[in-house]
Structure 1
Amino acid sequence: MKFEILQFPLAKSAYGGIILPMEEENKSEIFQSPTQYESRLSRPKNQFAPKKIFIILFSIVIVGLIIFGTTRFFAGGKSEQNSEPAPTAEAFPTDIPEPTEEISPTQEPKKPTPTKIPTPKPTVNPVDKTTGLDRSNLSIHVLNGSGAGRASKKASDFLESLGYNVIQIGNAENFNYEKTTIQIKSAKEEFLSLLKKDLSSNYSLGTTSADLASDSRPDTIVIVGKE
């Protein structure tokens, strides 16, 4: 087997070194003259000056402080405004004047009304002169059998004026009585003629009897009729 030895052209640099062969387009960048190389090293680099950096940082700090101070100022003003309590109105007691009655100049003062004193009824002698019977010993219950208003009250007042003892007044079971009726206990039958005589002066008499029950409260029941 035979091996071929490849040969490449060699070049010497200005400094006595050996330079390997390379493409022509890269030779100009690598192989430079000492003058060109020194000029490239002495060329100043592009960088920010320290003074400019300080000015920029200082401006940022100032703007930040202004924004922070403004925010705190407005926030503090609002909190103080909200924290102040609203003033409350104090209520003071006022004297209420008492109403006074005004008298009109044309109005005359009221005169006191005199109190009427009831006139006492004249004392009546209940004893009948003819028979000698005492009317106050006969108790009577007067009933309204006519339906007329206050009929029993009128009859009661009339009998009391004669001296009879009226213990109760009221209405009868019906208002169909045309004439006045009398019902008396048998034990008081002696008063029947006297009672008929007294009532006949103002009323038309109907039936009369002495059959009232002995246990009845009144001695006599008088039912007033329409006539």
Structure 2
Amino acid sequence: MLYIYLDTTQIKVMHVKKSLLGAYDTSFVNKSLQIKMIENGLPTNPDVIASGIKEALSGIPQQSRTEKDVTLILPQEAFLFFRADMPIDVTEAVLDTYLREKARSRLNSDIDNSYHYYIIRESEGKKKVLFFAIKKEVLEAYKKPLELIDLNLKQIVPEPLTYYKLFEKTLRSNKKENIWYVSFDHDSLSGYVFDSYGLLEEKRWTATLSTTKKIETTVQKQVAILEAQNIKINRLILSGSQSDEIRQDTFTKDVGVWTNPIKRIIPHFYADYLRILKGQTDKELPVLTYDMLIGAFIFTSEDKNFCMVKSEGSASNKPNLKSSSSIIPKISISKKTVFLFLASFILTIIVIAAAYFLRSGSSFSVKMPAIPIPGLTNPTSTPIPPSPTLAPPTATPTPSINRSDVRVKILNGIGIVGKAGEVKVYLQSKGYEDFQTDNADNYDYETTIIQSKKGDDMIKNLLELDIQSQVENKVKFELLPDDEAADIVLIVGADFK
């Protein structure tokens, strides 16, 4: 399968090939053009796009260039979109009709001449519908450059869905978050705003950095703009090739929003998929550059019903509930290839077996089973069943917390240089991974303090247990505001060893 991402001036390709023995081989290619390929959601010149894709595909190994089926990933501007509360009094049988009517009024578009799909997601006990559509003429316009180079469009995916899939498993069902996914590549920034349900703001934000313009300043300014629009960002996820140069702790402090590198999220939640894509090589996958393609691979593997290429009324219009199950993708192999492989395999086994028996002089022997004859067998006593033993009662399992998922802010409350960093290293040894370090409001803390949110007693108790051997006094507890980006705050006092 070919996964192709088209942007204004960028073409990114991921080719995934499955061998007869089940091993995967993956190739990546990135190509930049000097002219715009997409403007206002539409392809500008099919010949230029076809030429650019063809040149990009030349970077794929020769033996892999026979693949013709394409999954195309496009920016959100190519699609129509709206989201709404899931209606309680509408049954699933008429939900599609209801949403089509809602789309007509909300999108002011001829929805009958569009392909659409909707997703239902749940958070904090509430459900929302996310409705995506693409006009037929827009879809045909993107098919044309592919057909010019004999490629077949099998699937088309909005870019935001690929990003959401990558961090979806970091979300908590009982907590609503606003997440800003930002890509940093070639001194350019772009990003989409999500919440726990999915895409929140369909317009993609973009910015270009200069020698006098720092990324921290640019991002901080946009965070303030979003907050003025009543969108408080709880978490910022960084991707893109240049994001690898940014330190998470200092960036979080400078921007004022808790920052997660996508490079750490993907291996933690999608290790199985990374192993599939790596195949037999030891090379590290370029997840920062090709995050949308890897996200599309995972998304189309797990959300099997999704399709925006088929006509209305097909299975593509059925809702897809949020699912975290991992489904290994199927990549087709021709029947002729399978037949030749099986025939050669069986023939090889026959030849090896024949050679073995000819050399060793071995012969086959058949051992007849013993047949019992009544009256000649020794009588056996009927066993007396042992008295039943009552099983000991099993303890009710305690819900576990993954320390690597907990966002910990460590504040230096004693003024010793590097103390927060020392505590960070200690907590890393316990399994915590997500940190922000800073100074407290003063350096007069005699006793270490744990600040936790209401209802997060399990996290509070876990951290208290983990630092018990390091503090001389009994830890004090304080309430942490719900809008704090960190899950828990540890103020290091003078009693911390």
State TM-score, norm by structure 1.
0.40
- Structure label with greater radius of gyration: 1
Q: Which has the higher strand share?
A: 2
TM-score of the aligned structures, taking structure 2 as reference length: 0.19
